[in-house]
Amino acid sequence: MACTWAVESVVVSRHLKEQLIYLKNSHDKRAFEAVSSIPEDEENHRDTGGALGGKNRLFKPIRLLISLFTETIIRFGMR
Ligand SMILES: [Fe+2]
């Protein structure tokens, strides 16, 4: 669950929020509405991961590595 918590934290707290700001400024209402429906679902995934032990301090190094990899893959994919 540490992996789920780490991935979803990056996706929700950084990537989706940035995408929503971008789409709102681009005035693409349809795309904005489509992406707006995603964060709540991803937050639920993150919270489930946390509730099932993913936030245990023993997993902190694993969460850090997974967060860095996730962020890297997202940034690489956006190029
Ligand atoms: Fe998810």
Task: Read off the pTM.
Answer: 0.82
pLDDT digits (tens, 9 = 90+) for 30-63: 999 999 999 999 999 999 999 999 999 999 999 9
- Residue 13, pLDDT score: 79
Q: 39: CA distance to ligand 1 center in Å?
A: 9
The continuous run of DSSP H or E covering 32 comes out as helix 29-36
Q: Where are the domains of the chain?
A: 2-77
- Which amino acid would we find at residue 8? E
Q: 46: CA distance to ligand 1 center in Å?
A: 7
